[in-house]
Structure 1
Amino acid sequence: MIQKRMKSLAILLVLLLLSLTGRLVQIQLVSTESFSDHNVNLIESSVKQRTQVMKIDDGRGDFYDKNGRPLSHEVIPVLVLFPFLNKMDWPAEKVANIINEPEYLLRYELKAAKEPFAFGGKTPLKLTEEQSQAINDLKIPGVFAVKQKLEHDGTMAEHLIGTLTKSDELKAKSYPNRGLSPDTYIGITGLQHTFDEFLLSEGESKLVFHVDGSGGPLFGVDVKYVEPANPMYPVKVITTLDSDIQAAAEKLVDRHGIRKGGLVLIDIEKSEIAAIVSRPKINQRNPNENSGSKNRMLMQDTPGSVFKTVTAAAAIEHDLVPPGRTFNCDETIDGKKEPKKKLGTLDFEKSFSQSCNRTFGDLAKEMTDIDPDFLLSYGSKLGLIGQTGWQGEKYHSNFKQLDKEESGRVWNDKAVKKDKKLAAHAAIGQQDVQVTPLAVANMMATIARGGEKRMVTAVRKVSFNNGTTAIDFPAKEMEGERISPYTAMKLQSLLRSVVTEPKGTGASLSQLPYEIAGKSGTAQTGIDKRELNKWFAGYFPYKNPKYALVTVKLDSNDQEAGVTSLFKEMVEEIYRIETSSPVPD
């Protein structure tokens, strides 16, 4: 009986030893990089237990304005402290004297630390070059002055720049053969998405210090600075934005209480986005939340009377508005008595400056007999219909700079374009007409250039870390027909009259430091809710055009103010910036 029990116990011990041996083989030889159902990398976990790491740069490429100033981050010299200093006798007083901070603050932050950190909390203390040199000259283990990349809480032009995710599912779908780590970000909206292949991290830059089992330093093992194996990364995406003007634009849009809408500013000569603001803001806690993540400046909406510019171009080129022709602006577009806005009898120029619907309804009915496609045709000639952003052949594929840019349209159903009543309503920017604020700005830039229509760029180039250019984006013209130089000149005069005429809808802009040409627009978008889109689009200076600007407030109501005042203050702010501290381009 005793022998039988001993044999059973021996067998049990052997099985237990075999099981433990098998487990050790699995841990140390078989599943070292994907242990358990959680795919734990045991090698990495082991290394983490023996090291303390301070990340300096995540390795993902970054965005800069046209003058090379970072838009979403800054790189500053900081004081890095490792928590094992708590177990050492180190000259804290010397470090405190160098950075001009009390010694007790150093020790207080250090006492609470479990990982290496930059002294100063969420806003680390920014060191001078002299302070950085003096700290590193002390050669204290666990005390370093390094340059660290710090992400801004609020990114400039956040909708244009876009958002990121660590989603393993999306990474596997987008880059099935890359084997990206769980900590790697990829772009899902904006420029972060369209330029993602350039921006992907090639590895972090970090400080690594080896420690013993109790967390103390392994003396004789120096701190290591680890950086990506490829010195060409991370890349720099040089955008077309002017960060001074962009910052001013965002403040003004918020000051004017724009809940839905924004503004877009184009450099006319270069056909570049100088500033762009979309509201509502992105929800930083849930950046993919639907309403806030959309860039309204790239989305279709109803333009209202801004679209009369297209009808005017068609009427001019078909000689429908000879000198002396007048229109009864006491009647609505449907020939009824105007209940509110009685303007009397007006000629073509005053009809445009005072925004008489009847005039452009009548012209549309006449144009429908000549060419039922006139609105689509002239919208295209003015760079308003279709996509506006830069696109072209790059790396054997059609590359588009702007993410999810929508195309403008005139008709939902082309079969109704011969209906004169519907054509009249479309001619004043109602009915089915949908355009993006960016395209409206491009229309104004096209007119200011005398009819030359171009694609609009948001990025000038992508540079490698050593400064060489990886890819650039030369200016490109938009395909298709243009308006004649004569028509462009007449449109310029009409747009200027909106501001110079005493009863013009833009008369409040007549005293600005730049001469303005432009067009207002109010569109009904929700009849039941009495919702309105309010626009002002134009360019300046009139005689030497430099900027095209669109301001828009979407889904507002009758009682809310329009956006002409926002346009006005934006022009004043640009004048202030450009005359006080000009930055060479």
Structure 2
Amino acid sequence: MNTPIRKLGVVASMLFCAVLVAASYIQVVQAPSLDARAGNSRVINDGYKKERGSILVDGKAIATSVKSDDKYVYQRQYSNGSLYAPVTGYNSIVYGNGGGIEGASDGVLSGTSDSLFYRRLADVVTGKKPAGANVELTINPKIQAAAAKALGNRRGAAVALDPKTGAVLAMVSSPTYDPSALASHDTTSVVNMWKQLNADSTQPMVNRTISGNLYPPGSTFKLVTTAAALESGKYTPESTLNGPATIRLPQTTHSLPNDNHLPCGDNDKTSLTHALEISCNTAYAELGMDLGQDKLAAQAKKFGFGQVVRLPMRVTPSSFPSDMNTPQTAMASIGQYDVRVTPLQIAMISATIANGGTQMEPHLVKNVVDSDLDVISSTDPKIMSKPISSDTAGSLKTMMEAVVNNGTGKLAAVDGYQVAGKTGTAQGDTSKAADLWFTGFAPANDPKIALALVLENGGDQGVETLAGEVAAPAAQQIFEAALR
């Protein structure tokens, strides 16, 4: 064999090996990521050829697949779709699965999850038609409906937890959308609806409870500042603080006033309990500066700031700023400056206080069940951390009761039950009305529900509106549904 032929043979062999390696790499290594790629029409179409599992709330399907008279064989249907959209997300022949359980638990619903391997094997042996498993949620339908009614047409979010288990009892984001419009088999209408929803400035497809543009927490963050103060050993609920009508922020020409422009007590003095009760900005700003940013940041981290949580949907981590100067620390201590949170994070703080200082891992999936509703797997309550001592939690509980009994949260009270809470009026964008918050739990002596609720832009009530006037009564409606 002469040299040119030999070289050509080597090149041909190398090319063959390269093709073989590339094909093997795509088939073995890249296959899972290519299959999971949004808009992969082959995978999407194949998924519609077998029955997708249902999403269940209180034993009833809020998302289910029914036979269709077209090539897709099955079509997704949503019951009360707008109410549950933040929870279910969407199932689309054009855009795949996303926005909620449809995306986060797709492997279970489609039947492709590794956890269902032996079920699939049994189906092959018995000749049973392959199908996805059903996902049963922790949502309480009465509380979900009450939260949606409390928000009404106002932009905002509400989330409720069982403080003892971490189960998500309600998850509402407003405005919302109907995922049924994205489940249509008319691709033109689906594309048009997708464009319309994504072009909407109110962002109806964003689940505001766990993602999107995070909120400044306002005075609800005073719970974190109070926890840091009590945990430091330097303060008790009876400690005396300065509480003038206004203070000059160090190193600046700016002043920080109280919302009512009045001092928080006689001779400009107040107790830590009374400061929380009436949400005294000046007292908490001085308290935050005394504690310093390191103690505040450490306490926020213990409550879960900066940590990724999955419900199984991914929750955007809340954040507490670093490298602050003294006036920035003062503002951060009252939930302003660059502090940003999800409503779920604030609900978790209240739930931790309600649960004696133990923070439970939040979860949305209760059980995975088969077509006969036999349980395949369950979610057991899991301790996430212990951010505060039981003594600190007890003190905070009593202080939060005072907020509802005598302070800014009076309109959250429920006859016959003791409610513990905290309001927050958060001025993120100074060109708009403040975001209005309420967080708390009830009954205070044996908590069944902890919640956080936020209404954007003053709840459409005007720039002078405070949280106690709008957010507290909205929270009261949710407490009523849970307790009655």
Determine if contact 1:389/1:455 at 8 Å carries over to the other structure: no
| 5+ long unaligned stretches in structure 2 | 1-47, 113-125, 182-192
How far 1:549 sits from its partner (Å)? 1.3
SS of residue in 1 equivalent to 2:359: coil
The code of the aligned residue for 1:410 comes to F
SS of residue in 2 equivalent to 1:71: strand
Cα RMSD, aligned residues only:
3.0
How far 1:538 sits from its partner (Å)? 0.2
The code of the aligned residue for 2:167 comes to E
How far 1:531 sits from its partner (Å)? 3.0
CA distance in structure 1 between the partners assigned to 2:243 and 2:149 by the alignment: 43
- Which of 477, 487, 491 pairs up with 2:392? 487
Map of 2:276 onto structure 1: 352
- Which of 137, 162, 173 pairs up with 2:89? 162
Verify: 1:380 aligned to 2:301, yes or no: yes
CA distance in structure 1 between the partners assigned to 2:288 and 2:333 by the alignment: 6
Determine if contact 1:525/1:555 at 8 Å carries over to the other structure: no
Determine if contact 2:222/2:284 at 8 Å carries over to the other structure: yes
CA distance in structure 2 between the partners assigned to 1:74 and 1:341 by the alignment: 58
Determine if contact 1:444/1:548 at 8 Å carries over to the other structure: yes
What does 1:493-572 correspond to in 2, within 5 Å? 493-501=398-406, 504-527=407-430, 529-556=431-458, 557-559=462-464, 562-572=470-480
- Which of 295, 298, 310 pairs up with 2:207? 295
The code of the aligned residue for 1:436 comes to T
Verify: 1:194 aligned to 2:104, yes or no: yes
SS of residue in 1 equivalent to 2:209: helix
What does 1:64-463 correspond to in 2, within 5 Å? 64-65=56-57, 67-72=58-63, 151-152=78-79, 154-167=81-94, 186-200=96-110, 230-231=128-129, 233-254=131-152, 257-258=153-154, 260-282=155-177, 285=181, 286-287=193-194, 289-290=197-198, 291-299=203-211, 300-322=214-236, 323=238, 325-332=240-247, 334=249, 336=255, 338=257, 340-345=260-265, 346-368=270-292, 372-390=293-311, 401-403=312-314, 405-411=315-321, 414-416=322-324, 419-463=325-369
How far 1:384 sits from its partner (Å)? 4.8
Higher-helix-fraction structure: 2
How far 1:287 sits from its partner (Å)? 4.7
Change beyond 3 A, Cα 1:337–1:194: closer
SS of residue in 2 equivalent to 1:277: strand
Structure of higher RCO (CA pairs closer than 8 Å, 6+ residues apart): 2
CA distance in structure 2 between the partners assigned to 1:319 and 1:263 by the alignment: 34
How far 1:150 sits from its partner (Å)? 5.7
How far 1:349 sits from its partner (Å)? 0.8
The code of the aligned residue for 2:342 comes to T
How far 1:74 sits from its partner (Å)? 9.7
| 5+ long unaligned stretches in structure 1 | 1-55, 81-114, 117-147, 171-185, 203-227, 391-400, 577-585
Determine if contact 1:72/1:155 at 8 Å carries over to the other structure: no
How far 1:377 sits from its partner (Å)? 1.2
Task: Give me the identity figure in percent.
Answer: 25
CA distance in structure 1 between the partners assigned to 2:317 and 2:86 by the alignment: 18
- Deviation string, structure 1 residues 207-259 (Cα, Å, up to 9, x no partner): xxxxxxxxxxxxxxxxxxxxx964462321011011232223223322xx32x
SS of residue in 1 equivalent to 2:367: strand
Pairs aligned (count): 385
CA distance in structure 1 between the partners assigned to 2:420 and 2:65 by the alignment: 38
**The 10-residue stretch of structure 1 (556-565 or 531-540) with the greater mean CA deviation from structure 2:** 556-565
State the TM-score, normalized to the length of structure 2. Answer: 0.73
